[in-house]
Amino acid sequence: MAGPAAIRPRVSIEDEPLKALLLPFENGVLSWPQGRVLFLRARDGWPLRRMELSGLRCEQGFRPLADALQRAGLDVVPELADDEPAADLVLVLPPRQREEARALLARAVDLAAPGARVVAAAANDEGARSREKDLQQLAGLDGNLAKFHCRVFWTPPLQGPRDAALAAQWRGGDAVRLQPGGRFHSRPGVFAWDRIDVASALLAAHLPSDLRGRGADLGAGWGYLATEVLDRAPGVTALDLYEAEFRALELARRNLDGARIAPGFHWHDVTAGLPRDGYDFIVSNPPFHAHDRGDRPELGQRFIEVAAQALRPGGRLLLVANRHLPYEGTLEQAFGQRRVLAEGGGFKVIEALKGVSR
């Protein structure tokens, strides 16, 4: 189903960690190799375009950022294969979450060919000094620079990790594991990885048991709401999960393995619109932060618009949102009827019905 253009990720001039990451190559401190380059947690932007990109292969599991890399003509996959050939340079933009970031640095060192370097960068307020210390502990440091409110730091030419046991420990820290309670699998870095999100739990508790037909979960995460829909509404006959974060979607596959119906799993940017319409119902706990953690209420507003486009006339949207978020105007324009089903913990559950054309 076609719709307005997706909300683009903020990656170009505003992406200061990307600028910092490539600064040593721009000022001649480091040389860009002629051979193979891997970029973990890659993002597109004008500093990248200044490099020789013919040997570049990118890993990016967040669909909007992956789509931006693909539009730029770059080779991008959501997850590198276990047998990925080693590289002459490995670039890393490590995430904020500690276990995930350490595992990523350990993978970067593993992927570096003999004599290659790992170069990483992070914003100061996203744990730059901690990530620098981590890389130093793992493989040693050969230099660093501070600019753009970020730090970029790099290893000497490598011959594997300085501490192989530590590298293995850090890789294991990012492993899939059962959450407390033993019902759901999760892993560090995905949203609400170590708990059931309060907002999603509120929505689940107020899901109507008379939901039926084909439904969708927009921003499905690791599959909690989809599981609750199938458990609470026996009339549901089909369910599609749409999730932009590849790591989360793979967890959802695992958590819904053996469900009473086989859901559809879609690594997809919801803000671009959905590939099908005619849904009988949609559930959603939409995001309101971007990859840079900035507030983006327009993301939730766009989720509401897309839901309205994808529902059949008379179809229902079940939405949970922070009380303070400005969604009422969008709901009023997109839906014929709406009501608040529940409030609690700073959140509200809203049911909206799509109008029937006469």
How is the chain split into domains, by residue range?
16-172, 177-353
- Is pLDDT of 299 > 80? yes
CATH class of segment(s) 177-353: alpha beta
Q: What is the mean pLDDT of residues 307-316?
A: 97
Name the percent of the chain lying above pLDDT 70. 94
Spatial distance between the Cα atoms of 62 and 82, rounded to a whole number of angstroms = 19
Nearest to 220 by CA among 63, 68, 67, 29: 63
Q: Express each pLDDT in 57-115 by its tens digit.
A: 999 999 999 999 999 999 999 999 989 999 999 999 999 999 999 999 999 999 999 99
pLDDT value at residue 297: 79
Spatial distance between the Cα atoms of 67 and 9, rounded to a whole number of angstroms = 10
pLDDT value at residue 7: 53
Read off the pTM: 0.92
Nearest to 66 by CA among 56, 76, 57, 54: 76
Q: What CATH code would you report for 16-172?
A: 3.40.50.150
Q: Do domains 16-172 and 177-353 have the same CATH topology?
A: yes
- Is pLDDT of 358 > 80? no
Q: Express each pLDDT in 279-292 by its tens digit.
A: 999 999 998 765 55
Beta-carbon count within 10 A of 222 CB:
31
